[in-house]
Structure 1
Amino acid sequence: MAMQLARIVETVGSADELASAMAAITAELGFQYFALGHHVDIVAAGPAAMRLHNYPQRWADYYDRNALGVCDPVHRASHVTGIGFRWSQMATMIPLTPTDLKILTLGRAHGIGNGFTVPVHVPGEARGSCSFANEAGCPLPETTLPLAQLAGAFAFEASRRLWTGRSSNPGQSGPRLTDRQRDCVLWVARGKGDWEISLILGISEETVARHIKQACERYGVNKRTLLVIRTLFDGTLTFSDIFRTRYAPFRA
């Protein structure tokens, strides 16, 4: 089955093909439903947002109408782990609010009981996941959960290729900063002003301002806070870069 999952990533050529393959794999794993996609308001995001599922249509309509892709407790729980988890574990992962409990209850009323979710975090993209679920009262197939972890990861990568075309050359797309621009943005992220950055890097204050302005232009933003956020999302900077105690310039 692991080889079959790998071939899905390499060979599916359309969303319909992926949906058919996922339906077959879902059944083979011992589940009834699958859902994969980005954690966004699907209606507002439009066709750029990724989503594929075979959930009951009434639940899918309610889900989209109320923009639950943003606040779904399953999605929020997936943001605090890097491996698959049972939905029954969510209360130990995040605080469940009354609204969360209502969403889970409504899901069960529409036929979605317990499930297993595989989180996917790709820098520069909206967070996402792949979930497998059964009707309320139907137990999870415990022996196939390790394969579900693989299936979720492979399927999400296949959908990324179909929706975004980024998987073949992920490092080739998006803005790229020079080493000195990256130095300056790092110190902005550390809370330093232009004068302090100029002393740290040994360049003029005007040069610092110019590097940051050019970095903003490359990312199409006009606020330094947004610039830092964008560089964190696409992997230009990491939280480890910001909080590490020892510093070496990015320049060779």
Structure 2
Amino acid sequence: MESPRMTAVSRLAIGVSNQFSLVPSTDLRTAVKEAFAVEFGRFLDQADGVAQPEKLFDLVCAFALNFDCPWIAYGSPTPDHKLLKTPRRDRRVMLNYPDEWQQRYFEMGYDKIDPIIKTSRKRTGAFRWSEVYNDASTTEDERRVFEEAATFGLRSGVSIPLHCPDGSFAVVSFARVMDREFENITITYLELAAIHFLSRVAEFANSSGAEEPTSLSQREKECISWVARGKSSWETGKILEISDNTVNFHIKNVMRKLDVSSRTLAAIKAISAGIIEL
């Protein structure tokens, strides 16, 4: 399955290939590398004018499409191994993975066994998911995370961890819908973009200081807590002895207050902000 749109780099590569079909392949590779450099320069120029983490994330997403990567996730795992839990002052959990995979990942507790997180704790540079999958130390349960992700369209990926002086770290992951290995030059540019993104996010967090915590009602906390445990609205209603329509009403309020588009993200973000605990 191909990327949703033909990227600028893809168009350039095809154009160069058609125009210079009889010239050495090294010339084509040079042209493509130059196209990568142009796209990265454009990303840096656009990023310099951005003042919000969300808009910067959108720019990273647009840049990654040049390398056929429609899926991106950013998170800062905690010492207890949970994924996508960011420092309280850095309020954003940013990812655009398919909603169905987010829900499956969350419900199955894959954040506790995610091999990407285990590897990121030990690595300081970018790594391919295939390296982790094929590593002898990776367990069958950990491989299952990759296998299930593939069924939701995340068939190959690369992750970039960034370790901070205080011992914390963050990870940016890029995924493709096709089962194709990442080229070295692609990894280089994605790593540069990820490092720039992570450094800018840290700047935003430092400049904004402590933020006012989002306030949820007791009932909203109860509803989103059960969502975090994988319960449906019907099941939550039975537990709390309220109707499923009432549950949905409270969950929608939580989504609005936390500024997210899905109940799964609302649950993740509520945990990240320390609003609820599992």
Q: What TM-score results when the alignment is normalised by the length of structure 1?
A: 0.56
Shift, 1:158, TM fit: 2.2
Do the aligned residues in 2 keep the contact of 1:83 with 1:118 (CA within 8 Å)? yes
Name the residue aligned to 2:206: 165
Assess if the C-alpha contact under 8 Å between 1:36 and 1:51 holds in 2.
Answer: yes
For structure 1, list consecutive stretches of 5 or more residues without a partner in the other structure. Answer: 169-252
- Tell me: CA distance 1:158–1:62, structure 2 relative to 1, closer, same or farther (3 Å): farther
| Residues 1:117 and 1:167: Cα distance change in structure 2 (over 3 Å) | farther
Structure 1 residue 135, shift from structure 2 partner: 1.5
Matches within 5 A, 1:1-252: 1-7=39-45, 10-40=48-78, 41=82, 48=90, 50-91=92-133, 95-124=137-166, 126-162=168-204, 164-165=205-206
**Structure 2 Cα separation of the partners of residues 8 and 167 of structure 1:** 21
How many residue pairs end up in the alignment?
167
Query: In the alignment, residue 139 of structure 2 is paired with which amino acid?
Result: T
Deviations 1:84-134 (A, max 9, x none): 111111156571112101111111111111111111111226322111111
How far did 1:167 drift?
A: 10
Q: Percent identity?
A: 18
Q: Structure 1's 82 and 43: CA in aligned 2 closer, same or farther, altered over 3 A? A: closer
- Following superposition, the deviation at residue 152 of structure 1 comes to 1.3
- Cα distance in 1, alignment partners of residues 157 and 84 from structure 2: 24
Partner Cα separation in structure 2 for residue 166 and residue 77 of structure 1: 31
Q: Which runs of 5+ in 2 are unaligned?
A: 1-38, 210-278
Contact 1:157/1:167, CA 8 A, preserved across alignment: no
SS of structure 2 residue aligned to 1:64: helix
Q: Normalising by structure 2, what TM-score?
A: 0.52
